Structure 1
Amino acid sequence: MKSKPQSVIAATGSYIPDTIIKNDHFLSHRFFDKDGTIIPKENTEIIRKFKEITGIEERRYAAPNERASDLGFFAAKDALESSGIDPESLDYIIVAHNFGDIPVGSNRVDTVPTLASRIKQMLKIENPDCIAYDLPFGCPGWVQGLIQADYYIRSGDAKRCLVIGTETLSRIIDPHDRDSLLYGDGSGAAILEASESGESGILAHKTRTYAIEHALLLAMDSSYTSEYPMQEDLFIKMNGRKLYEFAITNVPLLVKDALDKAGLHISEISKVLIHQANEKMDMVILERLFKLYGMKSPGEEIMPMSISWLGNSSVATVPTLLDLIMKGQMKEHSLKSGDKVVIASVGAGMNINAVIYQL
């Protein structure tokens, strides 16, 4: 009997916007608590504490003429051109995002047509058998796109799938909410293709959704202040403390389950690529993961971080991080043939997922 093909990452790409927004950009903001009262602290203290917890010093914002679909197109183009893969050979284009295209000066989400169809048009792909669709799945959307592509490839339904994560969070944040400091814009992409070698590819994956008690830890709501001119506008909001506790409790357990499915021990893993949401949170997740094996965490030696200069760009953080490593742009981090990697994320839903991959 012929064995099922493996899903191999044949190419990666990313697009990091040029506009750098440093923390002092927010010094003139007026921050309010969720009850509408102004926070009785100097902004210098708010920003200092924010950096201490999250590790973020700066983030990137898209240019005024760039929308999420544009960023996704640039990342896809990077992956295709750097690998020489023919766009017409793609069977699927899966685009993970949460807010669609949001123009500058507006808070309105635009998802018709899908970002995937827009990107397919920009790539000038004529093949109608290249199926393009969007995947809204919170911050783990790009990782879930990899998982869906793996199913297509292993079933024989596809030979090549382009998976993109793209977001312009800077246009959906409440400027009077401290959490607005977290978010940035960007896009990352990967092309998965079928391989019969059996030497590399996706070894296992695992996904969970915790909705009953946790679905609204990340949700849309109005501004924290009645001073905001457009009160009908909705912004991304989160219960930071409970989200943090949820992530550090559940992500390590799910990653271990994925490793168990792959028949691997954490000591066999070369790198852990995790959603860049909060530096402190990610470090605790790593510590707890290694503790499940009775081991001490090696910290940033095994877990590359880009959050300090890119911020949290939701679905784009993991594919951007992967592309930077694959193209030798991350100091002190590299990957070689045979290395085994954990790729994991957590976010709105609440959703958690992990992919175990061997180069």
Structure 2
Amino acid sequence: MSFPIRSVIAATGSYIPPTKISNESFANHRFYDQEGLPLRHDQATVIEKFKAISGIEERRYAQSDQQASDLGFLAAQNALESSGIDPESLDYLIVAHNFGDIAPGTNRTTQVPSLASRIKARLQIKNPACVAYDLAFGCPGWLEGVIQANYYIRAGDARRCLIIGSETLSRITDPFDRDSMLFGDGAGALILEAATGGNAGVLAHCTQTHAFEHAQLLSMGVSNAPQQADSQDLFMKMNGRKLYELALNHVPLVIKLALDKAAIPLSAISKVLIHQANEKMDRAILHRLFKLYDMPLPPEALMPMTLSWLGNSSVATIPTLLDLLLKGSLESHQINPDDQVVFASVGAGMNINALVYRF
């Protein structure tokens, strides 16, 4: 009897930069609105309101000698060394990011060669059959990389894939925009491999792109204070209110579509690992999901969070969260065999995805 090929998690890894940036580090910043006018509230009030909405108290920044490919390499190295997997056995090396490598002191990006090729070289992988490529898909990029790897494995095209999410958002955000307080740097990695028999593995996924009306909710633009910044520089900008509405209206539906494909009720889910974007938004998404099923409000332990101390590191948030969870580094949270978990993310594009996995 032959068994269908399943894609199972073989290893995880992460790299959390050691440089901590607290909310108080922004006490002497001066923020402006999109019209170029100073915010009317004093900075202490701005920071207080920011913490109440986002749940963020501090974030991590890459060190001056590190770029996104360096963080990604360290996360990949952590996954490989902690599992003992031979790097030469990898068939695909997929790196999700949005801005490439950005040297400190500038917001100019470099993406040639690809970050995937840079990391493959750093890992000293000689096998030319290990295909290395980058994936730019907004914050859902890492999860989309897992979805792609799952296709390769189930089609018999790959036995083992390394998917990395790495970003240094601190270097592409506008220092005169209060949204800059949301973002941090970091990297996470996962190795997905083929298995037969058993019940563990990727069960289903769903991906959507809402570009027709919403492509520009996250885009690049000039500083909120162009008179104080280099006029040639472009920074990441977002329409927070519209993005919040899109997330609430569509992310719960995408999660439900993935659960329906897997034929699994929400009541059977042990954890929801969602992109760590904004605590208020993430909790509202979860509440809206439970309303779709006419279920009471979810228990606090269902959705572990790292936002308070890591901030929003884009593609790195979910793999970092997963690595910490599987390695017992999140207090009061754990994943057990046979637990069924939902992953979900939303970001630039606007892209939304969800994946159901059984451990």
Q: TM-score, normalised by structure 1?
A: 0.99
What is the 5 A alignment of 1:224-303?
A: 224-303=224-303
Measure how far apart 1:339 and its partner are: 0.3
* Aligned twin of 1:126: 126
Q: Which residue of 1 aligns with 2:33?
A: 33
Matched residue, 1:13: 13
Return the alpha-carbon distance in structure 1 between the equivalents of residues 297 and 114 of structure 2: 41
Q: Look up the SS of the partner of 1:270 in the other structure.
A: strand
Q: Percent identity?
A: 64
Tell me the TM-score normalized by structure 2: 0.99
Task: Report the residue type matching 1:154 in the other structure.
Answer: R
- Structure 2 counterparts to residues 63-74 of structure 1, below 5 A: 63-74=63-74
Matches within 5 A, 1:74-93: 74-93=74-93
Q: Deviations over 1:277-311 (max 9, x none)?
A: 00000001000111111112224310000000000
Separation in 1, partners of 2:91, 2:297: 40
The answer as to whether partners of 1:140 and 1:347 remain within 8 angstroms in 2 is yes
CA distance in 2, matches of 1:310, 1:222: 26
User: Structure 1 residue 3: deviation in Å?
Assistant: 4.1
SS for the counterpart of 1:208 is: strand
- State the distance in 1 between where 2:209 and 2:2 align: 34
Gaps of 5+ in 2: none
Matched with 1:115 is 115
Would the aligned equivalents of 2:248 and 2:281 in 1 still touch at CA under 8 Å?
A: yes
Which residue is 2:312 aligned to? Answer: 312
- The answer to whether the aligner puts 1:105 opposite 2:105 as a matched pair is yes
Give the corresponding residue for 2:184.
Answer: 184
* Aligned equivalents of 2:264, 2:158: Cα separation in 1: 27
Corresponding residue for residue 148 of structure 1: 148
Are the aligned partners of 1:15 and 1:75 in contact in 2 as well (CA < 8 Å)? Answer: yes
Structure 2 distance, partners of 1:69, 1:226, is 30
Tell whether the 8 Å contact from 1:99 to 1:109 is kept in structure 2 after alignment.
yes
Find the residue that maps to 1:227 and give its secondary structure: helix
Q: How far does residue 40 in structure 1 lie from its aligned partner after superposition? A: 1.4
1:196 maps to amino acid: T
User: Which aligned segments of 4 or more residues in structure 1 are displaced greater than 3 angstroms?
Assistant: 1-4
Q: 2:348 corresponds to which residue?
A: 348
**Residues in 2 aligned to 1:9 and 1:269: alpha-carbon distance in whole angstroms:** 18
Q: Deviation string for 1:69-96 (max 9, x for gaps)? A: 0000000000000000000000000000
Amino acid at match of 1:240: G
Aligned to 1:58: 58
Where does structure 1 lack aligned partners over 5 or more consecutive residues? Answer: none
Partner of residue 48, structure 1: 48
CA distance in 1, matches of 2:197, 2:115: 33
How far apart, in 2, do the equivalents of 1:297 and 1:162 lie?
36
Structure 1 counterpart of 2:174, one-letter code: D
Query: Does 1:137 pair with 2:140?
Result: no
Distance 2:256 2:25 in 1: 40
Two-structure CA RMSD over aligned residues (Å): 0.8
The separation in 2 between residues aligned to 1:114 and 1:129, in whole angstroms, is 16
For residues 4 and 205 of structure 1, what CA distance do their matches in structure 2 show? 17
Amino acid at match of 1:162: L
User: For 2:166 and 2:40, how far apart are their aligned partners in 1?
Assistant: 36
Q: 2: CA distance between counterparts of 1:229 and 1:149?
A: 41
Separation (CA, whole Å) in 2 of partners of 1:228 and 1:163: 39
Deviations 1:121-146 (A, max 9, x none): 00000000000000000000000000
8 Å CA contact 1:5–1:198 kept in 2: the answer is: no
* Superposition deviation, residue 197 in structure 1: 1.5
Matches of residues 154-193 of structure 1 in structure 2 within 5 Å? Answer: 154-193=154-193
Kindly state the Cα deviation for residue 336 of structure 1 after the two structures are TM-superposed.
1.0
Q: How many residues align?
A: 359
Does the CA contact (< 8 Å) of 1:4 and 1:155 recur in 2? Answer: no
Q: Work out the CA distance in 1 between the residues paired with 2:197 and 2:325.
A: 24
Where 1:127 maps in the other structure, the secondary structure is coil
- Counterpart in 1 of 2:22? 22
The separation in 2 between residues aligned to 1:91 and 1:32, in whole angstroms, is 47
What is the aligned partner in structure 1 of residue 339 from structure 2?
339
